[in-house]
Structure formats: structure tokens, C-alpha cells
A and B are shown apart, each in its own frame.
Chain A
Amino acid sequence: MNSTVTATHPYIDALLKGYEAPRGGASWLNARRAHALERANALTVPTTRDEEWRFTDISPLMRVPFRRATGVARPAMAEVARFVAPEAVVRLTFVDGVFAPELSATAGLPYGVVVSPLVAALDTHAAVIEPQLARHAGFEREVFAALNTAHLRDGAFVWIARNQKCPTPVQLLYLSTQNEAAAYPRCLAIVEAGAECTLIEDYAGLGENVYFTDAVTEIAVGEGARVRHVRVQREAGGAFHIGHCAVVVAKDAHYVSHAIALGARISRHNLQVVQQGEGVEVRMDGLALISGRQLADTHTLMDHARPNGTSKQLHKCIAGGAAHAVFNGRIVVRPGSQLTDSSQQSRNLLLSDKAHVDTKPQLEIFADDVKCSHGATVGQLDAEQLFYLRSRGLPEGKARNLLTYAFGAEVIDRIPVPSLVEQLEKTVLAQTQSLPLGKGEGVRA
């Protein structure tokens, strides 16, 4: 059956062109996809008139007639190797949204740990998946989450059974290889009570194509479980990336997010964490490093829906050239969520006169016995630090690079995967070293 409904928005209509309803499959899943399709058809592409998209103009996305990626030759392992984190013995690779078994490694998983394509898991773990899939990443009002869900066919499935510990990080690698193609990566991770897992999601492009990644990830963190989630967005320079990540955290569980945005012409990351039980600890680290005409938007929501929760957030942006960084950090403390302890820091570094940042803390507090702090700074490199380094012989350019790097290193160094830390440090160094020198290169004192 082809889509016969006409979307209210021609662009959404184009993206849904060629949409094929899945044949067979579980009826509950088909119903969710159909509902998402209905929503995708009803919703419009957001504009800067929408409060949630005020600072992010995605109209350039609409100038490219993206089609769904078609099966073509797969990249060789040699092309992919540079993205592989050696610590992650388990890896699922998706090429243009399609699972690539030859680029994946799933052997040697202990009992109680499942890392597999979603399609296969639907046969074996439907009872675990059904209550969670497309249940957390809301698509009623989010057109891109709706599009992803409507297109949901395959994806990554990670399941850590009760009290099991996944011994190595799990890497999910989403690669894009086609020009003017749209891919819809999807991930569902279920970490049951008392279990532990480090999850790496990595979005990258092979070749300088213009493509669209519309990603959705859902993570359910069970009671007392611990999840460390690393998200690296290093798409090609001309790409568009819109990602939704919805996390639900049960009683006494820990969730730590490290989200790094380096690539794409325009990117948007929505991270939504809901505290579903008492005693939860959440940490959200973010770093956007952009230059040229890039735009990187991060919208986060920490929803303290239960008492006794702790959340710590550090979001940093480094913007050079005419780049534009956006951060909106929403923290909600629901009525009755007493003893919430929440802090949010937004730190922004502008490396040129044309770079630009919009940062907006958004605190909605409906309980009285809570501790909530937030702060935001926007600035340039510190003149005293710069002089100190120069007075030790470092040329101004090198000193600027080092300080820029150090600003980002605070976030990168906390990533629990050493090879990724090293890789990202190199990327940041390379990117900062290519920055033009700032003003004040004058020689006279």
C-alpha cells in the first residue's frame, strides 16, 4: 500500500513519497507506524515562528528533494574502520538506515545481553519491546519523530537483562553514503533493573554528500540500573541531522549522557530525560564545536517527575566563522518532586565576530523544597590566559588553539571510552588549528 493521504505540507509529502507500509509484522507495531504516519501527514515542518524552533531556521533542508536511501554498494570495512571504537567489542553498523551485518560484530556477548537488529529482535523479544518501542519518543507534535516512526522498519535493539553488566561498550554506528538521501536510524535500548551498559551512538557520513538523518533513540533505564550514553554527531559538512533521544529513568537509576555535535550543516538534538522514580541521578554533558556556516541546536528537557532526583548539566558551545549555536535547557520540577537537586551550566565560546549563540535556560519549578541553579556565559577567549601562554613562548595562534581545545576538553575528557576521547581530542585540535587567528595580532605592547 502506498501512502494515499496527502500531507498538509508538501515537503513532508515528498519525504513520505514512496512510503511503503510494512508487510506482515506485529499488529501493535503496524498500528503505531500507521498512527505516526497520520501524525506526520497532519504536522507541518516547523519554522522560526514555532517557539521550539525560534532560533533554528531549517528552511535550507527544504531546498533538497531528499528521497529514501536505496540499497547500493556497501562501504568496505576499511572505510569504516576509522569510526570504530576498539573498546566496543559489540557493534552494529547501519548504512543509510539499513543494517550491515558485514560491518557489525555481535559475537561473544554474555548471557542476558542482546545487541541485535530490531527486526530480528521483534521475533524473539516482542514482549520486552512492545511496552517500550515508540512509547517514549513522542511523535504527536514532533514531525521528525513521527516521520522516523512511520518509516520504522529496522533499527538497533540493545537489551541488558536484570543485574547483568555489559562488559564492553556497545557501539551503534549510523553511516550515510548517498547524496540527497534520507535515513531514519532508530534505536531502542532497555537496561533492566540493576543492569549496566555503556552505549555509543555515532552518526557519520562517508563522502561529502548532502543527506538527511532523522534519528530516534529510546532508552529505558530500569531500577538501580546505570547507563552511560555517548552520542557523537559527526555528519558530513553538508548534511542535515535531526535527532530525538527520549530516556526514562526508574528509581535509584543513573543516566549519564555525553553528546558531542561536530558535523552537519544544520543539526538539532532533542534530549529528553524523564525521572520516573525517586533517587535518580542524571548527568548531561554536551559539546557543540562548529564553524563556517554550521548551525547546531541542542534542546534538552530534564523532567523531575518524582522527588529526590539529582541532575547536573554542562553544555558547551564553541562557535567560529559565521556558525550559530543554540541551546535550550528546560528543567521541570513537577509538583511534589521535593528535594530535587538540579544544576545547569551553559558555557559558550565565540571565536569570531560573526559567530553567534542563543542560549536559554528554561526552569519550571512547581515544588518548594528544591535546589535548582543555572548559569550561562558567552564570551571570547580570556585575555589573561592568552597572554600567560604567549609569555611562555607560544605564538598567539597556538595559544588560542590550546585555550579553545581546553574549553572543549572539559566535556570530552569525561567520556568513558578512551579511544573516543583520543579521537575527539584530535578532531577538536584539528578543527581549532584551522581557525583563523583572531584580532590583536599586533606586535607592539
Chain B
Amino acid sequence: MIRAGARILLEVKGLRAKVAGVEILKGIDLTVRAGEVHAVMGPNGSGKSTFAKALAGHPAYAISGGTAAYDGSDLFALAPEQRARAGLFLGFQYPVEIPGVSNSAFLRLAYNTVQAERGKDELDPLEFDDYLREKMKLLDIDASFLDRAVNDGFSGGEKKRNEILQMALLEPRLAILDETDSGLDIDALRVVASGINHLITPDNAVVLVTHYQRMLNYIVPDFVHVMEGGRIVKTGGKALAEELEARGYDWVRAAA
């Protein structure tokens, strides 16, 4: 939902970032206001995932230029955990497996950490369990999910559901979802997309990073940005995604 006067949650200007000394992001500008859904699209290697991880603070990505303001303050002055506690959420393209840590304990730890930051009461295991099960219904997740280790042995679809479950628990103000649609079959995609739609409010914003248009059939973006060579080369509305789907990324490349 585009509202001209809405609060600016993220303002990125001229962002440059390097991985292992190689510059991948070459000057990105992006403004995200509360209530908006943005789609960042682009071919493989265009820098979409790098952009997402750099915003979340992945240590392998070195910021080499530009600025990013999150809710008015310098995003890059914050450690990854501080960003998370301030309400920034990264949905991983490849959620990490952590054997030895139960999913339920992990979810509770993450939830309580963020709650404490917001000055709210932590939940004990029983209270949390009730809250969690409610959120799990939203994503059609089986109870056995909780006893397993974090993402350990999960199918691709289960991992993605677990990501969105975390988003549902943490209630971020800005969610950056990196290729959440990849590895999902059509039914799972519908469930996950409907889960995300449930979580969108006028006070938060979502940036969907995706290669394909298909997720945008379920989650309608206000803005579509196309990345190429580490820059945003084109910005439009929902129609741009459809045009991309029909004409391919070569069309943007030619137009850029």
C-alpha cells in the first residue's frame, strides 16, 4: 500500500559492497516506506542476494560505499543482532541447519531476545508454546517440527516455512525475504505466500527478493525493481514483473 506521507523505514543511497574483495553492489538507491511491498528481481548474479545479506549484516559482505538509514538511524553502525532486534528480518535463501539445537528452543530464544529489546515480557516455555502453535496454524506446520533440530534434515519447503514462522514470531518492521519462493511447490508457495500476506500491516514493509514472478501472483508488490550488474536498472509497478515474465531479463538489459 503506497501512502505518500508514510514513515520511511529504509533509505539506501549509493550502496556499494564487496565480497572477498570483489565489488558486487555498485551503487544502489532504494526507499521503502511503511506499508509497502517491494519486489527486487533480477537474473542470477545481479546482486539481489548480496543486497539482502548486506542489509542484514552478513560479515562476508564489506560495505565499500554509500549509506543505509533504517528508521532514521545508520543501519551499518549496528551489529547483525542489533538490526534484528530493531525489527529487521532476513528470510534466508538457504536456511542454515543447526544440529543439536531444538527448533522450539531456538524459536523461543529468538522470540524472547527480540521481546526483551522491545521492553516486553519474555514468555516461559508453556506460554510460548501456545503462542507458537497459533502461528504454526497460519503456515500449516506440523507439531513434529518443534522437536527437531533447527532446519536439520528439513526439506526445502519445510525450511522456508520455518523462515516465515520466525518472521511471524518476531513481527519485524522490515522483512527482507531472499528467494523465499525457491524450492517450494505450488501448494507450499500458496501457504507461505498467504502466511506472508497475513503479516503485512500498514506499519511494516516487505522486500521480496525473487528471480521469478510467480510469488508476485500471491503477494502483490507496490514496486518492482530490476537489478542488473549490482545496480537497480529499472523500477515500476506490478505490471513490470509481468512484462519481465513475458519478455525475460534480456529485455531489461537491452533497455538499460
Show the binding face of A for B, using Cβ within 8 Å. Answer: 382-385, 387-396, 399, 402-403, 405-410, 413, 440, 442-445
Contact = CB atoms under 8 A, between A and B. Distances in A.
Interface stretch (B6-14, B108-116, B206-214): B108-116
B18 to A, nearest CB: 11
B16 to A, nearest CB: 12
Given A383-B60, A392-B170, A405 B96 contact: no
11 contacts: A387-B58, A387-B59, A387-B96, A388-B98, A390-B57, A392-B106, A395-B79, A402-B109, A410-B100, A443-B77, A445-B63
A384 B166 contact: no
A98 to B, nearest CB: 40
A406 to B, nearest CB: 3
- Counting chain A CB atoms within 10 Å of each CB, the highest count among B79, B92, B110 belongs to B79
Interface of B: 17, 54, 56-63, 76-81, 83-85, 89-90, 92, 95-96, 98-101, 106, 109-110, 113-114, 117, 149, 166, 170
B90 to A, nearest CB: 5
Majority secondary structure of chain A interface residues (helix, strand, loop or mixed):
helix
Nearest to A404: B100
Nearest to A411: B100
Given A445-B59, A445-B62, A390 B79 contact: yes
A392 B58 contact: no
Nearest to B94: A384
B60 A402 contact: no
A205 B166 CA distance: 44
Contacts of A403: 98, 101
Given A388-B92, A388-B95, A393-B84, A409 B100 contact: yes
A444 B76 CA distance: 6
Given A384-B96, A385-B98, A443-B77, A393 B110 contact: yes
Contacts of A387: 57-59, 80, 96
Nearest to A412: B100
Given A392-B81, A440-B59, 16 more contacts: A388-B92, A391-B56, A391-B83, A393-B81, A393-B110, A393-B113, A394-B110, A394-B113, A402-B109, A405-B100, A406-B100, A408-B100, A410-B99, A445-B17, A445-B54, A445-B62
Contacts of B95: 388
A321 to B, nearest CB: 22
Contacts of B76: 444-445
A22 to B, nearest CB: 49
Contacts of B110: 392-394
A445 B57 CA distance: 5
B60 A406 contact: no
A396 B81 contact: yes
A403 B79 CA distance: 19
Contacts of A405: 100-101
A433 B256 CA distance: 53
A409 B80 CA distance: 26
B117 A391 contact: no
Contacts of B100: 405-410, 413
Contacts of B106: 389, 392
Given A391-B84, A393-B114, A443-B77, A406 B63 contact: no
Contact of A443 (B78, B99, B109, B114): B78
A295 to B, nearest CB: 25
A398 to B, nearest CB: 8
Given A385-B96, A445-B76, A391 B90 contact: yes
Contacts of A445: 17, 54, 57-59, 61-63, 76, 80
